[in-house]
């Protein structure tokens, strides 16, 4: 009973260790951290500009670091206007703004970047080993399910490593580049939002792993996953257009549930029930995508 679980964990450790040592992964992590760093820099730039405007209106001197006039920007709705299109509207933005805006802003970027990172890293993980046949070294030691789930877990751990580093970077940059941030509150918001971004990213991870299990060619699985990833918003828009009370509309409504992007705004809700429902749906989608790939992997000659 314990053996498959232990094997899965060992495969995950193997996957994590092997990935961390590869240059490709290091570049992808750097790209993610670069994106997070850029988001902090962009926020401070926007904030500086808005604060300079307010300082001019109030005829007060500007500060060397942005953040001193944040309460005024919150009061006049500038920050709300900035966040509203990203989190599902004014109401959602207003409800969220009891938390440090920088944490929310970085959370938006993390939700956008992490799925891309995971699709990129995970979509070749099994297919590359099928191609090089190095998967045979594992196959003779453990089952295919343990290998597939272990690799999925390994990639999830990679995502967690990336987001943890991202939280640390954003917090350090925020504390250094801004003034008036409550360290604990900023850290809590960053950690919470990045954790939700991990949950939001799970269907994309399932999609990438599914592609990697489905195809024995790493280039093919990467292209397949990337095209599906890019095609999903388009498909979502088309399905939304045709959704409605008639039969076709209902089918479209049902199909829309398989588009992970549609749960974006639900993760920004302040209602925990809504967030948990989105979590459940995202996890089911992740498992579905993964299972479709695994069904082929289980039967294929390796």
Partner 1 sequence: MTAQHPANALTIVGLDKRFGKRKALDALTFSVPAGSICGLIGPNGAGKTTTMSIIAGFLTADSGTVDLLGMGPYDPARHAGRVGILPQDAELPVASTPRQLLNVWGRLQGVPGSRIKAVVDDVLTLVLLGDRADARIATLSHGMRRRVTVASALLGNPDFVLLDEPTSGLDPAQARHLRDALASLRGRTTVLVSSHNLAELESLCDRVVVIDHGRCVREGSMDVVTGSDREVTVTLAAPFPPGRDQTVTLRLLATDPRTLPEATSDLLRELLAEGARVQAVQPGSSLEARVLADTGAAR
Q: Which residues bind partner 1 (CB under 8 A)?
A: 3, 7, 10-11, 13-14, 17-18, 21-22, 129, 132-143, 146, 299, 301-302
Nearest residue (CB) to partner 1, 143 versus 236 = 143
Distance of closest approach, residue 157 Cβ to partner 1, in angstroms? 15
For residues 107 and 193, is the Cβ–Cβ distance under 8 A? yes
Distance of closest approach, residue 163 Cβ to partner 1, in angstroms? 22
CA-CA distance, 71 to 283, in Å (whole number)? 38
Nearest residue (CB) to partner 1, 138 versus 198 = 138
Distance of closest approach, residue 142 Cβ to partner 1, in angstroms? 5
Distance of closest approach, residue 245 Cβ to partner 1, in angstroms? 48
Nearest residue (CB) to partner 1, 75 versus 132 = 132
CA-CA distance, 211 to 225, in Å (whole number)? 6
What Cα–Cα distance (Å) separates residue 61 from each residue in 50, 55, 163, 178?
13, 6, 37, 16
Nearest residue (CB) to partner 1, 20 versus 52 = 20
Which pairs with CB-CB distance under 8 Å and at least 24 residues apart come from 274-278?
275/196, 278/199, 278/200
CA-CA distance, 91 to 106, in Å (whole number)? 19
Could you give the count of Cα atoms lying within 13 Å of 277 in the half-sphere of its Cβ? Answer: 12
CA-CA distance, 225 to 247, in Å (whole number)? 30
Task: DSSP letter for 140, please.
Answer: T
**Residue bearing tokens 């942005």:** 66
Nearest residue (CB) to partner 1, 22 versus 76 = 22
CB proximity list for 240: less than 8 A, separation 6 or greater: 252, 256
Nearest residue (CB) to partner 1, 17 versus 34 = 17
Distance of closest approach, residue 85 Cβ to partner 1, in angstroms? 41
Nearest residue (CB) to partner 1, 11 versus 40 = 11
Distance of closest approach, residue 18 Cβ to partner 1, in angstroms? 5
CA-CA distance, 283 to 275, in Å (whole number)? 12
């Amino acid at each position: 009973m314990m053996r498959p679980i232990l094997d899965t964990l060992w495969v995950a450790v193997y996957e994590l260790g092997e990935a961390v040592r590869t240059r490709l992964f290091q570049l992808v992590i750097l790209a993610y951290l670069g994106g997070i760093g850029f988001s902090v820099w962009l926020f401070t730039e926007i904030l500086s500009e808005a604060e300079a405007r307010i300082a001019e209106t109030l005829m007060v001197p500007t500060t060397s670091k942005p953040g001193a006039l944040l309460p005024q920007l919150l009061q006049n709705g500038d920050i709300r206007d900035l966040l509203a299109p990203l989190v599902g509207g004014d109401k959602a933005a207003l409800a969220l703004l009891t938390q440090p805006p920088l944490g929310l802003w970085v959370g938006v970027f993390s939700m956008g970047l992490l799925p891309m990172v995971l699709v990129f890293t995970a979509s070749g993980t099994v297919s590359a080993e099928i191609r090089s046949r190095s998967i045979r070294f594992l196959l003779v030691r453990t089952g295919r399910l343990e290998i597939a789930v272990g690799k999925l877990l390994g990639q999830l751990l990679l995502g967690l490593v990336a987001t943890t580093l991202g939280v640390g970077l954003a917090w350090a940059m925020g504390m250094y580049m801004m003034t008036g941030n409550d360290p604990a509150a900023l850290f809590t918001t960053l950690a919470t939002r990045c954790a939700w971004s991990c949950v939001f990213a799970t269907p994309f991870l399932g999609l990438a792993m599914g592609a990697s299990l489905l195809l024995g060619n790493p280039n093919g699985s990467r292209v397949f996953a990337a095209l599906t990833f890019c095609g999903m918003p388009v498909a979502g828009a088309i399905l939304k257009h045709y959704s409605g009370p008639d039969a076709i509309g209902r089918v479209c409504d049902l199909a829309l549930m398989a588009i992970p992007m549609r749960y974006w705004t639900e993760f920004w809700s302040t209602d925990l029930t809504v967030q948990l429902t989105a979590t459940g749906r995202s996890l089911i989608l992740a498992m579905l995508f993964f299972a479709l790939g695994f069904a082929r992997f289980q039967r294929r000659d390796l």
